[in-house]
Amino acid sequence: MVRVLDVEVYSFDIDKAVVEVEDTILSGISPDNRLISATGAHGIITARKDKQFREILTQFCINLPDGMPGVWVGRMKGAKEMKRCYGPEFFRSLLLSSAGKPIQHFFCGGKEGVADELKAACETKFGNQNIVGTFCPPFRNLSDEEMQSLGTQINNSGADIVWIGLSTPKQEKFAFRLKEFTKVNFIITVGAAFDFHTDNVKQAPAWVQKIGMEWFFRLLMEPKRLYKRYLEIVPLFIWYNIKDLCNNYFLKSKKKVII
């Protein structure tokens, strides 16, 4: 792990993360509701501003580096093997890899009907028939009774992995709350993966993702929904990390930059 501002971020790649998840499940170890997030600049800056959210992320066993800016910072801090672990790509890789293995998936998220669309897409695109349940939560907080009902549905399905496809920080808070009602191996938050893999939202080209400009592509696709987020997130991410890197450098000389 490498620390990017206030968040401990996974310092390897998708292939290694997939193996770790599968090995944990196939080892027969007791289900422990391990939490995994795909955390980009949005999540990292939200954690900087929101103490409750920051404390939630510290209890995730893995926070995958969802965006290239986080990877660049991690590499500057010495994590030379760190690569981007993009939520939708991690989802695709794990669904493909687990297609012929006794690993069961449950989809939770998206607008009404999206989770069912995703189930069908995974069966055709990834050859994975091991999707044992779906649920599309309403656009409000669920009551304890509703969470208990969802937990019972998930437990009865035999799911090993619950995938949460909402938005940050809602999905991480939802996953953190859900684990109190479930008995699964992993609960994984993957943001817009549901919409991307059902072709409801267009993904940025690979070269745009590689240069760290996916945020700009998504802004062009959904300006009304995203412009306020990125107008704040991008400058703050750059500013806080410059400050943090400068402080780390000068701390080695026992001097701290106060900005």
Q: What DSSP letter does each residue of 105-118 carry, written as one string?
A: EEEEESSTTHHHHH
pLDDT one digit per residue (tens) for the chain, 259 residues: 999 998 999 999 999 999 999 999 999 889 999 999 999 999 999 999 999 999 999 999 999 999 999 999 999 999 999 999 999 999 999 999 999 999 999 999 988 899 999 999 999 999 999 999 999 998 889 999 999 999 999 999 999 999 999 989 999 999 999 999 999 999 999 988 998 899 887 777 888 887 878 877 877 877 877 777 778 888 898 888 888 888 876 666 655 545 4
What phi, psi does 173 have (nearest 5°)?
-65, -40
Does 214 fall in a domain? no
How far is the C-alpha of 108 from the C-alpha of 201, rounded, in Å?
17
Does 215 fall in a domain? no
Q: How would you classify residue 67: left for phi > 0, otherwise alpha for psi between -120 and 50, otherwise beta?
A: beta
Domain count, the chain: 1
Record the tokens describing residue 83, joined without a space: 């690569």
Max Cα distance, the chain (Å)? 58
Does 257 fall in a domain? no
Does 222 fall in a domain? no
Does 106 fall in a domain? yes
Structural domain of 116:
2-208
Does 73 fall in a domain? yes
Q: Is 64 helix (H, G, I), strand (E, B) or coil?
A: strand
Does 225 fall in a domain? no
Does 224 fall in a domain? no
Quote the pTM value. Answer: 0.89
Rg (CA), the chain: 18
